[in-house]
Amino acid sequence: MKAASNTLVDANGMSWQKIVAKYHGPDLRLSIGQLVTSFVPYIALWYLMYLSLSYSYAITLLLSVLASGFLLRIFIIFHDCTHGSFFKSRRANEIVGVICGLASFTPFGEWRHRHNLHHATTGNLDKRGWWDIDVLTVKEYLALPPRKQLVYRLYRNPIILFMIGATFFFIVIQRIPRRDSRPKEIKSVLWTNVGLVLLYGPIIWLVGWQAFLLIQVPIAILSSTVGLWMFYVQHQFEQAYWEYDPEWDYVTASLKGSSFYKLPRILQWFTGNIGFHHIHHLSAKIPNYRLEQCYRENTLFQDVTEITLGSSLQAINAKVWDEELKRMLDFKEVRTLYGHSLPLNSAPPAGSPE
């Protein structure tokens, strides 16, 4: 497989650009179908959860598992809309994206801007920070004082990262405009907050704030935790791809820095085929419902890192990137290989944390 962006071709000499272009373009029937099969069950389950509060909260919690699955599908639609791949009309993508964003507590404009930057910089050590999971190299981690090393270890702790951090990010962090946001993105955050009040205010008035929290909190925790896990495992695995400019390459970063998460069919359905993440990163203009077809019809995209539901749990051990070994290490491996000192004959790169 040729890795350079302009020379990746299949056995017939067709470039990757021409291959993925065949799968561009949304199908209105399929897009509408996804909207119906996501929103209708989600709203129905939300109402059933409300009714179940009069019987048993255990039933409510069981229903929240299903409801969070459908909210994930809604978020995938939101995600496609940010890439302009769900409808042909830009306006339709924006309207549906905003609606899906309100359901998932996510500002459309802000997410669209930062997520597209993530696509343009994933795996680039010189351009980290665009709503990615923070990753340090071994040199950067060992150059930190003990207190900051502890902070990083706590940040990468699964309970803090997935359960606490994910929910806090979606519910709280996304309500606050970032200092480095442009005026357009700031407005997106503020108008989303207004929209959330207008949408959920009447619901809270009808069912009561206690019932609302008993229903919405477990959905929020489950959906945000699973959502962040999906994002994490698709970029944080042992043989991931990280390079500095100018060695960084877009195609290599897409195919080697994004995993193929092979899930059971039912989980693949709930997660909107986002497991074919390497193809999505190669071409975000492919609607989620065409990703599997693109994968199966082109062997060029099949020689990639494949992660199963079972093997994905090992990704929890991916903590820091070793530039020499070209793989992610856990903290125990760092101590075993390097102790508490920088690797020999090396120094922290310019701009690394102090």
Q: How far apart are CA 211 and CA 231, in angstroms?
A: 30
- CB 134, CB 160: distance < 8 Å: no
pLDDT at residue 1 in the model: 35
Give the residues across from 137 on adjacent strands.
321
User: Tokens 């009447």 label which residue?
Assistant: 202
pLDDT at residue 269 in the model: 97
User: How do strand 320-322 and strand 327-329 relate by DSSP bridges?
Assistant: antiparallel
Q: How far apart are CA 223 and CA 72, in angstroms?
A: 6
| Sign, Cα dihedral of 166, 171, 172, 176 | positive
- CB 220, CB 170: distance < 8 Å: yes
Domain ranges within the chain, ordered by starting residue: 23-338
Burial class (CB in 10 A: 0-12, 13-18, 19+), 45: buried
Half-sphere exposure of 304 (CA within 13 A, CB side): 34
Neighbours of 353 (CB within 10 A): 12
pLDDT at residue 277 in the model: 95
pLDDT at residue 130 in the model: 67
pTM above 0.75, yes or no: yes
CA 220 to mean position of chain CA atoms: 15
Of 161, 171, 187, 164, the residue nearest 71 (C-alpha): 171
Structure tokens at 189: 């955050």
The helix, strand and coil proportions of the chain, stated in percent and rounded to the nearest 5, come to 60, 5, 35
> Helix, strand, or coil here: 322?
strand
pLDDT at residue 14 in the model: 86
pLDDT in tens, the chain (354 residues): 334 455 788 777 889 999 999 999 999 999 999 999 999 999 999 999 999 999 999 999 999 999 999 999 999 999 999 999 999 999 999 999 999 999 999 999 999 999 999 999 999 999 987 668 899 999 999 999 999 999 999 999 999 999 899 999 999 999 999 888 899 999 999 999 999 999 999 999 999 999 999 999 999 999 999 999 999 999 999 889 999 988 999 999 999 999 999 999 999 999 999 999 999 999 999 999 999 999 999 999 998 889 999 999 999 999 999 999 999 999 999 999 997 665 554 444 444 443
Residue 330 to residues 81, 131, 135, 237, Cα–Cα distance (Å)? 36, 22, 12, 11
Q: Which helix (H) or strand (E) holds 329?
A: strand 327-329
Residue 246, preceding peptide bond in cis (omega within 30° of 0): yes
pLDDT at residue 353 in the model: 41
Give, in degrees to the nearest 5, the angle at Cα 64 between 307 and 224.
50
Burial class (CB in 10 A: 0-12, 13-18, 19+), 67: buried
b/e string for 244-268 if b means 16 or more Cβ within 10 A? eeeebbbbbbbbbbbbbbebeeebb
DSSP state at residue 284: T
pLDDT at residue 49 in the model: 98
b/e string for 308-330 if b means 16 or more Cβ within 10 A? eeeebeebbbbbbbbbeeeebbb
pLDDT at residue 342 in the model: 59
Q: How far apart are CA 43 and CA 63, in angstroms?
A: 12
Q: How far apart are CA 135 and CA 118, in angstroms?
A: 14
